[in-house]
Amino acid sequence: MRILGLVLREIRFRRLSFALGVLSVAVAVGCLAAELAHLGRYGAARQAQIDAKIDATEAAMRRLEDDYRVITKRMGFNVQIFPRGQSLAELHAAGHGTVFMPEERAETLARSRAVSVQHILPVLQQKTAWPERERTVILIGTRAEIPRGEGAAKQPVLDPVPAGAAVLGWCLHRDFGIARGDRIAFRGREFTVAACHEERGTADDISLWVNLAEAQEMLGLPGKISAILALSCQCEGAAIEGIRAEIAAILPDTQVIEYAFQAEARREARTRAARARSDAVGGEESFAEESRRTWEEFAAALVPVVAAACFVWIGVLALLNVRERRSEIGILRALGLHARDILAIFLARAGLVGAAGALLGYAGGIAALRAASPDGVPFFSAGIFAAAMLGAPALAMVVSWLPALMAARQDPAAVLREE
């Protein structure tokens, strides 16, 4: 028979005392395990809700951002690329380009890896007479936007004008009573009116759009264009200096002009949308953090109180055990056991109380939680279980240390003489 055998026999003999100790530890561990498991689950569930909300917010904000992008896209092209020899003074005085460049320039730009501009559209624009109506108009020849790379085709900023069709600005169709579907003659050619624009308050109101090839023929400028229109994303890093530098590398004989109003509106819209998304997501994350901190503070306050109460009780039980076993301690010392053996007897008992209590308490706490939450989600945590199985015996031994020391220091002669 060894010391541990003695301890086990004593436990069997004083079952009630041992059971009370185990129960006390079990209550403490059970409460803590259940609390921690519940907090963990609550936290995870809460985090999932918050994550979902953040995802939804991000999606909504992305949609808003996209909406802004679409809206500002409707404002039209915000970048124009002219031949390098185009005088800006002449450009603004005439209202259109006066120097021309090959149409292939637009193809070259579209095939390039330029990232700062999209929706590339070659145009030929010229103020010219409409002899059949004795009116001066701005003739604009356009074609379909040139697709870039192999990505999905984008919705064009400007719909192409098919051959044989014409689109009229507001003043033109109003003044001549022309409607969509009418046939008109322009510089000796017949066109079908494909669309009549609403009033825009710009030079567009006196403009007439036809297919680029037909415009080139009518103006005697085959294969020429006066400008390439493009849409800058106005993303971060897409300032006009960057655009110019990038396009200059691809089309060195051109110059780039930015339509300040459209560009600024688009830039502002996108910046605000991005900021709104950031603020909304940040708000959710702050709320999540605050919520988690509140629960952690609650647990941090509750856990020590429960643990302290239960382990003080363990200490009291250990003290009672020592008092009850005075005679036994006396005779064991008389039989030659050292003080350290007596200490070991009581600490081993405390350790067993802690281990049994931890096992029972953890199982009980988790079972209770499982019964209360029929969703079948597991509560078991190896980390918490290991902490309970190590921590509870250690704590039980710590609080039993003083009573065990009292037992070890007990004078055997005093006990034997009293008896």
Partner 1 sequence: MLAAIEVVKRYAGPAGQVTALAGASLTIEAGELVIVRGPSGSGKTTLLLACGGLLAPDAGRVLVDGQDLYRMTPNERAAFRARTIGVIFQQYHLVPYLTVRENIMAAALAVPDARAGDRARELAARFGLGDREGHVPAALSTGERQRAALARAFLNRPRILLADEPTGNLDAGNAETVLSALGEFARGGGAVLLVTHDPRAAPYGARTVAMEAGSIGTPA
Instruction: Give me the least distance between CB of 340 and partner 1, in Å please.
Output: 8
CB 225 within 8 A of CB 139: no
Which lies closer to partner 1 via its Cβ, residue 218 or residue 345? 345
CB 172 within 8 A of CB 135: yes
Residue 334 makes contact with partner 1 by CB under 8 A: yes
**Longest CA pairwise span in the chain (Å):** 139
CA pseudo-torsion sign 300, 301, 306, 308: positive
Residue 409 makes contact with partner 1 by CB under 8 A: no
Nearest to 141, CA basis, from 191, 176, 94: 191
Which lies closer to partner 1 via its Cβ, residue 15 or residue 200? 15
Which lies closer to partner 1 via its Cβ, residue 260 or residue 334? 334
CB 200 within 8 A of CB 93: no
Which lies closer to partner 1 via its Cβ, residue 317 or residue 384? 317
Residue 305 makes contact with partner 1 by CB under 8 A: no
Q: Facing residues of 196 across strands?
A: 168
Which lies closer to partner 1 via its Cβ, residue 35 or residue 328? 328
Among 30, 97, 361, 412, binds partner 1 (CB under 8 A): 412
Question: Radius of gyration over alpha carbons of the chain, in Å?
Answer: 44
| Order of strands across the sheet that contains 227-232 | 183-186, 189-196, 165-168, 207-211, 135-142, 117-130, 227-232, 79-83, 254-258
Stretch of residues binding partner 1 (CB under 8 A), selected from 7-15, 113-121, 195-203, 219-227: 7-15
Q: Which residues of 304-328 are buried (b: 16+ CB within 10 A; e: fewer)?
A: eebbeebbebbbebbbebbeebeee
Instruction: Give me the least distance between CB of 335 and partner 1, in Å please.
Output: 5
Instruction: Give me the least distance between CB of 406 and partner 1, in Å please.
Output: 16
Instruction: Give me the least distance between CB of 367 and partner 1, in Å please.
Output: 32
Q: What tokens appear for 306 in the block?
A: 């429960």
Residue 417 makes contact with partner 1 by CB under 8 A: yes
Instruction: Give me the least distance between CB of 333 and partner 1, in Å please.
Output: 7
Among 14, 69, 135, 197, binds partner 1 (CB under 8 A): 14
Instruction: Give me the least distance between CB of 374 and partner 1, in Å please.
Output: 45
How far apart are alpha carbons 104 and 380 in whole angstroms? 69
Residues 314-333 that bind partner 1 (CB under 8 A): 327-328, 330-333
Question: How far is Cα of residue 339 from the mean position of the Cα atoms in its chain?
Answer: 64
Residue 413 makes contact with partner 1 by CB under 8 A: yes
The count of residues interacting with partner 1 (CB under 8 A) is: 27
CB 225 within 8 A of CB 123: yes
CB 133 within 8 A of CB 206: no
Instruction: Give me the least distance between CB of 322 and partner 1, in Å please.
Output: 15
Instruction: Give me the least distance between CB of 337 and partner 1, in Å please.
Output: 5
Among 16, 300, 335, 371, binds partner 1 (CB under 8 A): 335
Instruction: Give me the least distance between CB of 347 and partner 1, in Å please.
Output: 16
Binding site for partner 1 (CB under 8 A): 1-3, 6, 9-10, 12-14, 327-328, 330-339, 341, 412-413, 416-417, 419
